[in-house]
């Protein structure tokens, strides 16, 4: 299945869009910063009014972003030299008498390149989604794109590509990209997305999970699977036939065979907090024996009722809420699910040895893109493994360039007294943590000019303390600061 039989038609359509100034900046200027959210909510009246002047950009925004009919004559002028009939034959638009209405959305993307993505339109209020509905660029898909570890020249696999956004982001730094989806309609829309952007190093395939990449290995694998935990099998983009969180566990267990040594896998995932089980131990079991190091950034843990309401609100008409909500809650009770975790999984294939697993609470906002910072987490783990115990004291460390120290003070009898000190990263993962004055002074002295042992020795002399005692107390703290990227090897 494909929308336009001739890729040249997509190129001509893109030229037409470019000629009208159809990009993210122009869309935002004309429709406002919340245009996409308003379209999703069905609040079209302000957007229709904003495009009443009727120039080519207005017509194209009404057609492909707002999804409202435009007069056939206006469409012909805005789309020239592409015949409207040719787009209608491909299922991109429909002609109804003297009106033309888009059957899909073509949306400009807020990205380093002037990309557009093709996806299904948001149905009118109360109208059900089709089972094969292909959603557009969501907050979660942009979060995954912003957190992806990007290395130049790799081959990339995008599992569950949907409208193709992850493959699109991978195309500039990848030698080749394979984008796959179980949904043939998604594969067709992803193909159209690539053609509209002139991307020629992405191959779109149809199939389930890793089946389309049998026998192949990649330097990067990304996935935005149907991770919602529910009894539903209604929508391909949301629901999996596997029970509970099995689709994510199976993916994590299967993907290492498709990674080259040092290759990364990243996906958004959900996992169940089951009554009577430690969720961290249960999650760690997914990665045991995988041959990979694994970091899970835990974004939230939702009460099952909140989880069900959130997804039903996005996908179901109000008259379906009650029966569906009761079915979802009964499912959670049957499987003894007390909470549902959501986070970002990052794995790295090891050349040898036993992999490590870490789950880190990460509810803070990230500074996007943060893929380099995530990749550095694995490199810093390698560095610490090579400098175990006292060996770290021989290394010169420096404070990472994005780290600041925040202090809070209260007035007292002798002036201001510091009550709280926090190291904070202003870029990347934006981690932060409390520390005392002594550790803050040690961190400040790590300027990359002398070994950590000398810094600790000076701190001991200043405090009139035994150097060995100070080192014994400080080294574990320093290791954690390196592990989290607050301190870096001087040569890094």
Condensed to tens digits (0 to 9), the pLDDT of residues 115-169 reads 999 999 988 766 788 999 999 999 999 999 999 999 999 999 999 999 999 999 9
Per-residue model confidence (pLDDT) at position 315: 85
Q: How far is CA 124 from CA 100, 107, 127, 189, 385, in A?
A: 17, 18, 6, 20, 56
Q: Are 137 and 118 in contact (CB under 8 A)?
A: no
Q: Are 375 and 294 in contact (CB under 8 A)?
A: no
Three-class secondary structure of residue 378 per DSSP? helix
Q: How many structural domains does the chain have?
A: 3
Rounded average pLDDT over 280-294: 97
Q: Are residues 220 and 321 in the same domain?
A: yes
Give the Cα-Cα-Cα angle 139, 115, 270 (nearest 5 degrees): 25
Specify if 271 maps to a domain.
yes
Helices (H), 162-278: 165-170, 184-196, 246-254
pLDDT of 343 above 70: yes
**Domain finish residue from 88, 108, 128:** 108
Q: Are residues 436 and 308 in the same domain?
A: no
Rounded average pLDDT over 435-456: 95
Residues in CB range of 176: below 8 A, 6 or more apart: 155, 156, 201, 202, 203
Q: Put residue 427 in one of left, alpha, beta given phi > 0 → left and psi -120 to 50 → alpha.
A: beta
Q: How far is CA 11 from CA 16, 60, 82, in A?
A: 9, 16, 10
Q: Are 418 and 408 in contact (CB under 8 A)?
A: yes
Instruction: Give the CATH number for residue 417.
Output: 3.30.390
Condensed to tens digits (0 to 9), the pLDDT of residues 45-96 reads 999 999 999 999 999 999 999 999 999 999 999 999 999 999 999 999 999 9
Q: Are residues 364 and 405 in the same domain?
A: no
Specify if 1 maps to a domain.
no
pLDDT-derived band at 483, boundaries 50, 70, 90: very high
Sign of the dihedral through C-alpha 470, 476, 477, 483 = positive
Specify if 57 maps to a domain.
yes
Q: Are residues 156 and 227 in the same domain?
A: yes
pLDDT of 492 above 80: no
pLDDT of 318 above 80: no
Q: Are residues 78 and 145 in the same domain?
A: no
Specify if 119 maps to a domain.
no
Q: Which of 14-23, 228-237, 370-379 has the lowest mean pLDDT?
A: 228-237
Per-residue model confidence (pLDDT) at position 29: 96
Q: Are residues 20 and 158 in the same domain?
A: no
pLDDT-derived band at 322, boundaries 50, 70, 90: confident
State the DSSP H helix or E strand holding residue 328, giving kind and residue range, or none if neither. Answer: helix 321-334
Q: Are residues 348 and 203 in the same domain?
A: yes
State phi, psi for 430 to the nearest 5 degrees: 55, 40
State the average pLDDT for the chain: 95
Q: Are residues 287 and 405 in the same domain?
A: no
Q: Are residues 314 and 352 in the same domain?
A: yes
Sign of the dihedral through C-alpha 377, 379, 382, 386 = negative
pLDDT of 185 above 70: yes
Rounded average pLDDT over 10-18: 96
Specify if 132 maps to a domain.
no
- In the chain, the percentage of residues whose pLDDT exceeds 70 is 100
Q: Are residues 446 and 481 in the same domain?
A: yes
Specify if 115 maps to a domain.
no
Spatial distance between the Cα atoms of 160 and 225, rounded to a whole number of angstroms: 6
Rounded average pLDDT over 460-489: 94
Q: Are residues 333 and 234 in the same domain?
A: yes
Domain boundaries, position 166? 139-372
**Domain finish residue from 350, 372, 394:** 372
Q: Are residues 270 and 363 in the same domain?
A: yes
């Amino acid at each position: 299945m494909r929308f336009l039989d001739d890729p040249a038609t997509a190129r001509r359509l893109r030229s037409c869009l470019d000629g009208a100034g159809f990009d993210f900046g122009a869309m935002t200027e004309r429709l406002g910063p919340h245009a996409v959210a308003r379209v999703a909510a069905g609040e079209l009246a302000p957007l229709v009014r904003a495009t009443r002047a009727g120039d080519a950009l207005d017509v194209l925004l009404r057609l492909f972003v707002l999804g409202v009919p435009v007069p056939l004559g206006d469409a012909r002028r805005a789309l020239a030299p592409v015949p409207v009939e040719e787009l209608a034959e491909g299922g991109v638009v429909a002609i109804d008498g003297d009106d033309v209405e888009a059957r899909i959305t073509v949306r400009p993307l807020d990205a380093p390149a002037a990309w557009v993505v093709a996806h299904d339109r948001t149905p009118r209020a109360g109208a059900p989604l089709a089972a094969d509905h292909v959603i557009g660029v969501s907050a979660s898909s942009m979060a995954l794109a912003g957190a992806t570890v990007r290395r130049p020249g790799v081959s990339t696999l995008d599992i569950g590509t949907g409208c193709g956004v992850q493959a699109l982001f991978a195309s500039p730094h990848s030698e080749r990209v394979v984008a796959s989806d179980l949904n043939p309609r998604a594969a067709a829309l992803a193909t159209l997305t690539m053609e509209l952007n002139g991307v020629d190093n992405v191959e779109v395939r149809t199939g389930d999970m890793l089946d389309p990449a049998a026998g192949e290995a990649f330097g990067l694998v990304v996935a935005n699977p149907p991770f919602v935990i529910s009894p539903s099998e209604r929508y391909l983009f949301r629901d999996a036939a596997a029970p509970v969180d099995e689709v994510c566990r199976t993916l994590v267990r299967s993907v290492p065979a498709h990674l080259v040594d040092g290759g990364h896998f990243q996906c958004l995932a959900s996992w169940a907090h089951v009554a009577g089980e430690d969720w961290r131990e249960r999650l760690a079991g997914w990665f045991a024996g995988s041959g990979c190091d694994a970091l899970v950034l835990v974004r939230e843990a939702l009460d099952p009722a909140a989880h069900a309401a959130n997804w039903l609100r996005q996908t179901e008409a109000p008259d379906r809420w009650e029966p569906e909500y009761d079915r979802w809650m009964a499912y959670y009770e049957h499987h003894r699910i007390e909470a549902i975790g959501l986070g970002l999984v990052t794995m790295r294939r090891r050349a040898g040895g036993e992999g490590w697993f870490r789950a880190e609470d990460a509810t803070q906002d990230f500074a996007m893109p943060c893929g380099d910072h995530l990749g550095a987490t694995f490199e810093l783990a390698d560095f610490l493994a090579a400098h175990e115990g006292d060996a770290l004291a021989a290394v010169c460390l420096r404070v990472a360039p994005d780290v600041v120290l925040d202090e809070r003070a209260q007035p007292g009898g002798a002036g201001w007294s510091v009550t709280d000190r926090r190291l904070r990263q202003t870029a990347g993962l934006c981690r932060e943590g409390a520390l005392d004055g002594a550790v803050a002074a040690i961190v400040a002295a790590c300027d990359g000019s002398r070994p950590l042992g000398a810094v600790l020795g000076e701190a001991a002399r200043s405090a009139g303390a035994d150097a060995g005692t100070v080192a014994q107390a400080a080294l574990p703290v320093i290791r954690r600061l390196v592990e989290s990227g607050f301190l870096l090897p001087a040569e890094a």
